[in-house]
């Protein structure tokens, strides 16, 4: 949020659709719009969702236009009988309709490339309000509109996220940026493996940080995100302050931070593997493939990720990884000894530099008194040796799997950093 009394421009978002107010789908457009508007100096002060109902739409939009200078409406622009946004807004602005040739050509080509005629219902999409500026949509069949009155702007965008984002990027952001006096810029630092309370304990008093930025922390079961925000009339000034704040945070909790903004734990691990020219193979039991899935979300991961073995059965652990039957008998599949044997086994059989393994009880069934649901062992094996960590996660099956994958990737990250540090140190000593 912007500082109060900053004279910053204010906007409201109006979400139209029975499927949203009735709970069938969650609105994700508003958070996209709100974040992006801040960087062009616009503060969203209210988000209102209403159904596809003329009276409600009219009232909500009119009241929003009384309160703020910019209103962005999403949804209700499709070609079905439910979609009435265009008609209602045209009526509000006393506008007629006319055929827009550019929209018509686009629709004809759109259907021609699919070897079809334009359906009758879709033809209504080329009828546009004469009072509006058309926002041409190349990602779908519904154009957007800009209505202006008494210096206030009302944008109407389709509800499909891809199309909404396209029109925002193409029309709204450039227009608002050109008249921007103040903006707010964010930097998000992603941490994992530390609780919110411990994180703040290590960060210490917030005052030195708030000299530069405002700070918000947002915990989830996978870690805590720290959001730093800088309000300024100049992007350079904001960036300087964000960097100063980031440096301060890093000086306190560097080891817990795996990335910033759009970086993910798997992209960070990928970078570290590329930097150290190492290959990786993974042996998963309780996570069922989730670690491999996350590693391969990164484009180019085939350069370092060689293979994964989802050894769900004991037979697979023996056959694919060479885990000894005696270990399985003596310690059980969920044990430190088997985790280490899995990590070493996948490293050997895959012929990679590093082997990573997990074995645990995801639940809800399968727990015992000595081995409760959530008990998990994570091991990593590389040329420097092997290590294993024990965790007990206290959540449902899905979240226990997610926490296991997160902890495994983080253990790998920390080991790669230490190895890379050690290599750099060696190189330094040799100079």
Position 30 contacts a copy of itself (CB under 8 A): yes
Site residues for a copy of itself, window 130-169 (CB under 8 A)?
Answer: none
Rounded-to-integer distance, Cα 398 and Cα 364, Å: 10
258 burial class (0-12, 13-18, 19+ CB within 10 angstroms)? buried
Binds a copy of itself by CB under 8 A, chosen from 42, 103, 176, 350:
350
Question: Binder to a copy of itself among 6, 51, 95, 348 (CB under 8 A)?
Answer: 51
Contact 93, 147 (CB under 8 A): yes
| Element of type H or E holding 270 | helix 265-275
Q: Is 57 helix (H, G, I), strand (E, B) or coil?
A: helix
Q: Which is nearer to a copy of itself, 180 or 289 (CB)?
A: 289
Is residue 31 a contact residue for a copy of itself (CB under 8 A)? yes
Candidate residues 16, 40, 50, 269; the one interacting with a copy of itself per rule CB under 8 A: 50
Contacting residue, 123, 250, 336, 397, with a copy of itself by CB under 8 A: 397
Nearer to a copy of itself, 135 or 286 (CB): 286
Q: How far is the CB of 382 from a copy of itself (least distance, A)?
A: 19
Residues in the interface with a copy of itself (CB under 8 A) total 73
Instruction: Give me the least distance between CB of 72 and a copy of itself, in Å please.
Output: 13
Say if strands 144-149 and 133-135 run parallel, antiparallel, or are unpaired.
Answer: antiparallel
Q: Which is nearer to a copy of itself, 28 or 424 (CB)?
A: 28
21 binds a copy of itself (CB under 8 A): yes
- Check if the beta carbon of residue 185 is closer than 8 Å to that of residue 36: no
Give the shortest CB-417-to-a copy of itself separation in angstroms. Answer: 24
Mark the segment that binds a copy of itself (CB under 8 A) among 171-179, 240-248, 337-345, 394-402. 394-402
Classified as helix, coil or strand, 285 is coil
Indicate whether 312 belongs to the interface with a copy of itself (CB under 8 A). Answer: yes
Query: Site map for a copy of itself, 289-308, x if CB under 8 A?
Result: xxxxx-xxx-xxxx--xxxx
227 binds a copy of itself (CB under 8 A): yes
Give 291 or 327: the residue with its C-beta nearer to a copy of itself.
291
Task: Give 190's contacts (C-beta < 8 A, 6+ positions apart).
Answer: 223, 225, 257, 258, 259, 260, 263, 264, 265
Point out which residues pair with 156 in neighbouring strands.
73, 145
Buried b (16+ CB within 10 A) or exposed e, 336-365: ebbbbbbbbbbbebbebbbbbbbbbbbbee
Residue 370's φ and ψ, nearest 5 degrees, are -85, -25
List of E strands, 182-295: 183-191, 214-220, 223-232, 257-260, 280-284
Closest distance between a copy of itself and the C-beta of residue 408, in Å?
12
Of 154, 213, 309, 323, the one binding a copy of itself (CB under 8 A) is 309
Residue 109: how many other CB atoms lie within 10 Å:
11
- Site for a copy of itself, residues 231 to 290, rule: CB under 8 A: 282, 284, 286-290
Residue placing its CB nearer to a copy of itself in the complex, 128 or 245? 245
In this structure, what token pair is assigned to residue 248?
Answer: 């301060």
Residue 215 within binding range of a copy of itself, rule CB under 8 A = no
Stretch that binds a copy of itself, among 99-107, 163-171, 269-277, 343-351 (CB under 8 A): 343-351
Q: What is the signed CA dihedral for 109, 114, 117, 119, rounded to 10 degrees? A: -100
Q: Closer to a copy of itself at the Cβ: 11 or 135?
A: 11
| Residues 337/327, Cβ–Cβ less than 8 Å | yes
Stretch that binds a copy of itself, among 142-150, 175-183, 244-252, 313-321 (CB under 8 A): 313-321
Token reading at 196? 């919110």
Kindly tell me which of 240 and 349 has the beta carbon lying closer to a copy of itself: 349
CB of 225 to a copy of itself, least distance (A): 8
174 or 398: CB nearest a copy of itself: 398
């Amino acid at each position: 949020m912007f500082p109060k009394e900053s004279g910053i421009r204010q906007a409201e978002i109006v979400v139209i659709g029975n499927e949203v107010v009735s709970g069938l789908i969650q609105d994700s457009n508003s958070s996209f719009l709100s974040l992006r508007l801040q960087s062009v100096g616009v503060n969203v002060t209210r988000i209102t969702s209403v159904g596809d109902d003329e009276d409600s739409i009219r009232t909500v939009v009119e009241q929003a236009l009384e309160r703020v200078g910019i209103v962005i409406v999403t949804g209700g622009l499709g070609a079905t009988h439910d979609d009435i946004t265009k008609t209602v807004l045209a009526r509000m602005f006393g506008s007629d309709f006319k055929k827009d040739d550019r929209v018509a050509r686009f629709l004809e080509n759109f259907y021609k490339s699919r070897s079809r005629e334009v359906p009758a219902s879709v033809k209504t999409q080329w009828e546009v309000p004469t009072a509006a500026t058309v926002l041409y949509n190349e990602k779908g069949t519904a154009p957007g509109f800009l209505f202006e009155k008494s210096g206030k702007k009302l944008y109407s965008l389709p509800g499909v996220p891809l199309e909404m984002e396209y029109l925002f990027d193409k029309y709204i952001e450039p227009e608002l940026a050109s008249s921007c006096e103040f903006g707010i810029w964010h930097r998000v630092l992603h941490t994992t493996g530390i609780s919110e309370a411990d994180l703040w304990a290590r960060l210490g008093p917030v005052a030195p940080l708030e000299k530069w930025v405002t700070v918000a922390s947002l915990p989830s079961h996978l870690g805590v995100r720290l959001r730093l925000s800088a309000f300024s009339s100049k992007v350079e000034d904001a960036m300087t302050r964000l960097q100063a704040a980031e440096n301060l945070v890093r000086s306190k909790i560097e080891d817990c931070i795996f990335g910033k903004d759009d970086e993910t734990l798997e992209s960070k691990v990928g970078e570290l593997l590329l930097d150290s020219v190492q290959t990786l193979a993974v042996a998963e039991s309780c996570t069922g493939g989730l670690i491999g899935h996350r590693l391969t979300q990164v484009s180019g991961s085939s350069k370092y990720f060689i293979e994964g073995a989802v050894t769900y059965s004991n037979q697979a652990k023996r056959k694919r990884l060479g885990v000894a039957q005696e270990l399985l008998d003596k310690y059980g599949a969920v044990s430190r000894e088997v985790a280490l044997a899995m990590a070493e086994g996948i490293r050997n059989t895959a012929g990679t530099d590093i082997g990573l393994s997990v074995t645990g009880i995801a639940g809800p069934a399968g727990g015992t008194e000595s081995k409760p649901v959530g008990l998990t062992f994570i091991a990593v094996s590389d040329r420097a040796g092997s290590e294993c960590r024990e965790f007990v996660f206290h959540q449902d099956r899905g979240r226990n799997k997610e926490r296991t994958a997160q902890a495994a990737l983080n253990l790998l990250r920390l080991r790669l950093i230490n190895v890379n540090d050690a290599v750099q140190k060696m190189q330094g000593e040799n100079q």
